Chains A and B, each alone.
Chain A
Amino acid sequence: MDELLRDFLTETGESLDRVDAELVRFEQDPNNGAILGSVFRLVHTIKGTCGFLGLSRLETLTHAAESLMGKFRDGMPVTGEAVTVVLSTIDRIKAILDDLEATQQEPAGSDADLIGRLAQLALQEPPALSPPQMPVGQTAQSGRSEPPRNAALAPDDDKAAGDGAEKPPAEAGERLANHSIRVSVDTLDRLMTTVSELVLTRNQLLEIVRRHEDSDFKVPLQRLSNVTAELQEGVMKTRMQPIGNAWQKLPRIVRDLCAELGKEIELEMHGAETELDRQVLELVRDPLTHLVRNCADHGIESPAARLAAGKTRAGTIRLSACHQGGHIIIEIADDGRGLDTERIKAKAVESGLAGEAELAGRSEAEICNFIFAPGFSTAARVTSVSGRGVGMDVVRSNIEQIGGTVDLKSVAGSGTAFTIKIPLTLAIVSALIVEAAGERFAIPQVSVLELVRAGGGADHRIERIKDTPVLRLRNRLLPLLYLREVFRLADADRDSGFVVVIQVGSQVFGAVVDGVLHTEEIVIKPMSSKLRHLAVFSGTTILGDGSVIMIVDPNGIAQALGRAAQTAQAAESVELERSEENVADDKVALLVFRAGSQRPKAVPLSLVTRLEEIDCRRIEISDGRHLVQYRDQLMPLLRVDVEGGLKSEGAQPILVFSESGRSIGLAVDEIVDIVEDRLEIEVSGNRPGVLGYAVVKGATTEIIDVGHFLPQAFEDWFRHRAAAKTGSARRILLVDDSPFFRDMLAPLIKAAGYQVVPAGSGAEALAALKSGSAIDLVVTDIEMPDMDGFALAQAMRQEPAAAGIPIIALAAMVSDDTIERGRAAGFHDFVAKFDRPGLIAAIKEQSADFTRAA
């Protein structure tokens, strides 16, 4: 591409982003001469350059816009209509530029429509009374909102408006043209790599000199060391960008939202100059945009409601950023209605995230945090504003992915504030260097909760439930894995070592290592493309002594636990593990126990929250039911069958299940083992509470249906819910080729008050639909042999009897790509396969739509 043209495109792109931001503030504060001047100059500059490059269509358009802007500058009052037309013009300019970039030619077409409107507005007579103008050049201090830094122009700048001087993008208003140059990001990245290498070499030299006491190298090396540190800091600085770059599009977004929602919102931005690494900046851009949209859509009330509540007509969204330690803190606050905790509670119960009793004991803050739960916000009404298929759970997981946290404070009636804390850079992270079977590995500190010494006389010891190692840590049963075993370096024959307690999403587990060496700030180097398929590693790094070690990906090793994780993210990693090695195909960790009869019984371990032993004397009997005080609540105790279970003295082993937020205890005689095996239910159960029989490690085992016991314990609650649904139970067609999933999901859906019609294949599903068995909703797996979910959706559209029925897809892995494909195929919603609360929420939403439509 012509270099001149490329420079023009880059510069114009930056200028346009700024015009967007400036124009919105201009509308809010039309009397601010400084902003007006700045906008005018930007348009003028674009126009000037277009003329120079012979881009006539762009020139004509910008000329018309400039004429109107000139009128404003001369004192014509600014109307909302005018700003809208100018914004449309800018959109058009962007479209032309996009074409220009792609084809290197100005696209054909006419802009007469916009030019006409621009000219018409420019010709309008100014009102008889001159509007209350402030003197040109007045800065924004007297404005209603504190303007972002780059809006504060020096007063005399305005006079220079017409000279078409180019302005540097970094800080408007200050002439820095001579002090800054444009450097490509690649160059900076390469520089960063080189400096990292220099740092490592320096570390090596220091280590050598340390061994030779009276070395002549000592002093010069010290100097080298200092210079290197300065250089490193300097290069890091070049990669830093002001957070304001990620905010640039927000004023426009908020403005458009206001127009769409009929609200009045002021966007305040503070600390836009706070800098952070450009890589982090890119990753935080989308979550921030989503949060601001959310504030505008859900937080701020309509003007009428605000006035009624004694507030100002216009709501305020306040964005601020500041540095704190090695982190940047970003706050997004609104002065709207705050979160409605009652509604959240209702929704949490409705979507099966928690039970009412459990919610009663929770603080407001804990309840508010439910909005981050998967499947929560997606179930809310889908507006074009905040329902773009992205929920707050995605916001949180995106932020957590870069080692950040997001917190939420809400005061009913006066507003909500989100606080995001993220590290300044991702290139260098703090890591724990551990040893396993003689090899060293780095574990990123962000995911490490604590270190526990186990065995060898320490307080904690590694226990085994037959072959599965666990650690009892503060009343919690922590599943363990041995790093040496996960990496197939050696057998896990040790009962002592250090347990690195790691948190991945909501999953907490311990990784047993032989030793913990030290912590080190490591420079992350990407994995070789040939090794990237190893999910257990996220990268490599070079230590101070020059050796290369692997960086452990906590997400990756969590898969080794073989547990069906709850989050979509974890489900995704499980999927990865499957595709890469054909081991644990449908393997499930099962907890095998005995209760009553001698025949072993089992439940999927992922359903068990805890294993406890309680003193029999603590068991109370009330109303013929067994109860025990457990964690400040009364927990019902149930028996698997009448013969077995409750002892009269000594310690009573129980399995604690916390489905739907409520806990129940299942009394058992003995916990036998935890095994990992394919779970194929071969004979279905004929007794309630038994899903069926399967061969687990060679023994016929009863697979217990936990879903059966929950309603038994909370009869009242379920009966209440069921009563509301009687007679109107909707029929759901559940399509999955795996009998295991069908059997797992069917009771869950039934418990939520629906009728379930199971189907083992796409063909079976179609047959059921054609037979006219009044199906209200289809829930289907995507990956199935012969006819997959996409094909089923397409076939349903061809079938008159089935065409209008909503379809929810169960995906083992939800990627943007699948969602896109699914939408096209006609899926109404996507739910991760392990996200059971999400599934119920989606079913509710879809069947609610159905009710409305009917």
Chain B
Amino acid sequence: MRALPTFTVATAVGLLALVGAAHQASAQIKIGAVLSVTGPASFLGDPEKRTLEIYVDEINAKGGVNGQKLQLVVYDDGGNADNARTFATRLVEEDKIIAMVGGSTTGSTMAMIPVFEEAKIPFISLAGAIQIIQPVRPWVFKTPHTDRMACEKIFADLKARNLTTIGLISGTDAFGKSMRDQCVAVAGNADITIATEESYGPRDSDMTPQLTNIRNKAGVLAVVNAGFGQGPAIATRNYRQLGITLPLYQSHGVASKQFIELAGPAAEGVRLPAAALLIADKLPDNDPQKPVVSNYSRTYQQKTGQAVSTFGGHAYDGFMILIEAMQRAKSADTAKVRDEIERTKGYVGTGGIVNMSPTDHMGLDQSAFRMLEINGGDWTLIPGS
């Protein structure tokens, strides 16, 4: 019994050494990724991993970067931040990567930041929260837009329609809470008054009491719902059930066809911000993002047979920003690559047009979101948004 594990370990070590040697011969540039491929956040990590694999292959088929082939090292943290940190250390110490694209969730990203900061290796996160890049850390970047931007986008549209007093209803799940906090934080700057606030549990099946209270609040001109999953669909149905005629805004959290299916006719007239990737076919031909989002959608659907999601798009953006930075640096030196990532200007990606700076390690602005209205069971793009 005792000899068996030793033998197994020895074989495994031997095999690993062989695999390592084989890879060292062909691959010169190692890029690391710790993603939540399985577990509760697999809807993030799975498309991210597939995207990275597709585009590493594509770059290698074209001869690699600066004449060197890429090697992708992916670890699955299973949605667990502790695992993420362990894998981050392994990427640094054993795999000796020169850059990292990944961190599917905010939790795993925050856990890995100290590792890459200490090792001085560029780290492009694919997670949402604004804490990742505020305060700015020299080696940490991120590609997804933030909740704050979604709030600002909604508020800008409200202001344009002169609907400056609103009722806010949000889910009590992580997404709803975070977006609610950001919306409350930016409301003042956007000249929006939140006259009344309500919440609902992520699994609630009726929100008419909360919506009745919002309806009865004097002065409310529009209602904003910060939420993810089924809650917003039920809130929208209840909204129509009560016959409320005020304009209703949903968040980017439900920017999918599924929301229209679930809410049904009640969704008519609802407005919401969404990333350009989800409405690739609706974008006008002169839209700067049209080519990149159409290409990515087509490639992803062809190679995986699945519908495109914004999360895979974040991985695409992170990877391409890194590749372009290495091309500009004409080297894979970590410090030079970091400097070039920070100098990214006018990169047109799936998430928007990225202009990074020493004080902004995300580089997206409001134009990353488009304002949509649901009409006839489909999205319509609101012009000029």
A joins B in a complex: no
